[in-house]
Structure 1
């Protein structure tokens, strides 16, 4: 069951007026509860088999970035225009490695092929592998490990040449 199917299920349940729905398929369990006033989803749980879960690391402190001159971002945008930006397809927590004791999927300078796993994003206890859309070389990693990411947030810059 993928994220779009879960989202469609939530919409369907909220439109039917049902108070609670439980669904179990293979190694996935989904419980959706709605309130009776307005039929908006209150709580959504998704659990997957423990064998596929990685243990998240403690979040590293984020240092404040120094303010840059206004001309510098415009120049950086021109430099980055030749690169392909890999963006987050979902909201969740970004992890650069499959488990705390495993090596990073990719580093700056790594060569990747289309379909190679770049990172995982945890959303609702599901660890989603994010694959490269192009072949090339990782130029920049735009997100810190164990950081929250938004939908369509840039994650990597890849030089396709």
Structure 2
């Protein structure tokens, strides 16, 4: 499904004379296909008819199987771009996209706490992004400047 959608979107852009690298469209398509609709809950706590992130679905099924229970069954659901952007775990990321007042009101009512895992929400609050040297594993690394003679000999 992902390959088909990527190919069709690319063909539409190419007809207009626009060249876009596949990786950009693949990221969007992956987000659009990230949710599943639960059909049978099995021995999990997921409710039939609910939309669940694919990773949560897989984790819950794994737990059910480890405990000797039956896994849930679900069908992958294609969300529109707007719904996919609003269906993120981060309410800050969702609020920056569309329906800001609704997203923030819902987050306040549900007493949500944003885990600040993604790049977007960290940029919004002005925090170091969790990528490259902004990652936690690099916080305690000290840099040592190279000697001036080493740089000249490297050329």
Classify the TM-score, shorter chain. Answer: under 0.3
Q: Between Structure 1 and Structure 2, which shows a larger proportion of helix residues?
A: 2
- Normalising by structure 1, report the TM-score: 0.22
- Which has the greater radius of gyration? 2
Q: Which has the higher strand share?
A: 1
Larger RCO (alpha carbons 8 Å, 6+ apart): 1
Structure 2 length-normalised TM: 0.23
